[in-house]
Amino acid sequence: MRLFFANCNFEPSTINHQPSTINHQLSTKLCSPKKKLFTFEEIKQKLANYCVYQDRCHAEVEQKMREFVLIPEAKDEILLYLMKENYLNEERFTRSYIRGKFYIKSWGKTKIKMHLKQKGITEKLISTCFDEIDENDYLNIINKIYENYESKLKGLQNYQKKSKTIKYLLSRGFEYDSILQVIEN
């Protein structure tokens, strides 16, 4: 027989059944130090602050909710509150993510798209939000990375440098057609 309390479970056979030790053992087994107990309003405020600090997607907020002891109805109510108050906005998150990964980390569209899919963002939303990247900026970044990486390669023939640089750009998430377009110009 297993007993379940507040997302924690334990085997009764592991408990010493003497009355004086049962309460102590229950409290140490049930209340793990990782899961503090908060009121519903405190949890709602903590998650609102979590979303205010940085744009978040639904998956990140749901992951954060796992830190708290909540019933499914409370989780749904908190998610609805965050969306209604515009703390949680999937399109805003996607646009912000695309801008950051492209302009700051110089990732290509393929890598950005893959990471957004891992976060549970829909294909349709991803494709509509890619207008955040200017096509000229995209080609300029490819050119900049190409020249920078190729100049670091020493002791190789030109076709080897070109091949290694193309592989590097592909690993950064840039499309092969865009890379070839930059190389030919």
pLDDT tens, 14-60?
445 554 444 444 444 444 456 667 788 888 999 999 999 999 999 99
Alpha helices in 66-175 (DSSP H): 72-84, 90-103, 109-118, 123-129, 135-152, 158-171
Alpha-carbon torsion, ordered 159, 165, 167, 172, to 10 deg: -170
**Fold entry, domain 135-184:** Arc Repressor Mutant, subunit A (1.10.10)
**Are the C-beta atoms of 51 and 83 separated by less than 8 Å?**
no
- 120 vs 92: CA distance, rounded Å: 14
- DSSP three-state, residue 5: strand
CATH 1.10.10 maps onto the chain at: 135-184
Mean pLDDT value of segment 99-111: 94
Q: pTM of whole model > 0.85?
A: no
